[in-house]
Structure 1
C-alpha cells in the first residue's frame, strides 16, 4: 500500500479499527479463560510495543501491521478490565462499566494531550512520542499491579 495515495490513511485507520474489533473479541475470550487480572499486563506490554512500532520506519506493510496491533491491543484491555470490575462487585455493573468507559475516554484525551505536548516541545518530535507512549503504558501497568496487590491484602 502506498501511504501517499489518497485514502491510504483512511484505509490504515479502517484496518486499525478491524484490529480493535478483533482485540475486543480476543480480549473477552482471554479474560473469560484466564481472568482480567492476568490478561491486562500482557495487553499493556503489547500496546506499548505497538505504539513504539508505529513511530519506527517499518515501511508501509510494517506500519499497517503495527496499526492493526495497536488497535487490537488497545481494545483487548477493555473486556479484561470490565471482567476485573465485575469480579470486584463494587456496585451495579452498568454503573461501574459506564464509569470505566468514562475513564477510558479521559485516558484517550490525556494521551492526545501528552502526545501533542511531546511533539511541540523543544527537542520533541516522533522520537518523543515513543517515550510518551511507553511511559503511559508503563504507568497503566504499574497502576494495575498496585491495584492487584491492594486487592490481595
Structure 2
C-alpha cells in the first residue's frame, strides 16, 4: 500500500508546489499545474493523529462547458489514512477538475492552507529519512535524534579492512 502511494506521489512532473510557510501545525503553499489534468493528484502526505483541515483559494482557473460528469465537489480532499508504524499518514489529494455550483472548473493554480494536529515526537528510522522528507509535507527532521558518531575499535592490522564499512556508515548518516 505504501509503495503504491510512493509511486503516485513521485510520478509525473506536471505541477509545481511551493511551501512558503511551515509551522508545527500549519502549512501554507502555492500549487500550479503546467498542463490541464483531469485525474486527481496526490501532492503528499500529512502525518497527524487526526485528519487535517484544508482551506483553499483559487488563484487562476477556467470555467468549462462539456457533458462529462464530474464527481468531485471540492478541489482539495483528504484521503483515508494509512498507518506507518504507530503514525497516521493522510494523503492530500488535489482534484484539478471539479464542480462548484453547477459550474465545471479547471484549476490552473491555487493557494492551500493545511491545519493539522502534531505528534509529540515522530521517530522514523534514519535509513528512510530521505524518502519521508520528500513525501510527508510536514515532516521535520530532528537533529537531536541523529547519532553523534560511530566509534569502531579495531587492531591496526584490520584498519584498512574496516575503513570501507566506516565510510559507508558515514554516508548513510552515522
TM over 0.5: no
Q: With structure 1 as the length reference, what TM-score do the two structures score?
A: 0.27
Higher relative contact order (CA closer than 8 Å, sequence separation 6+): 1
Q: With structure 2 as the length reference, what TM-score do the two structures score?
A: 0.24
The structure where strand makes up a greater share of residues is 2
Q: Which has the larger radius of gyration?
A: 2
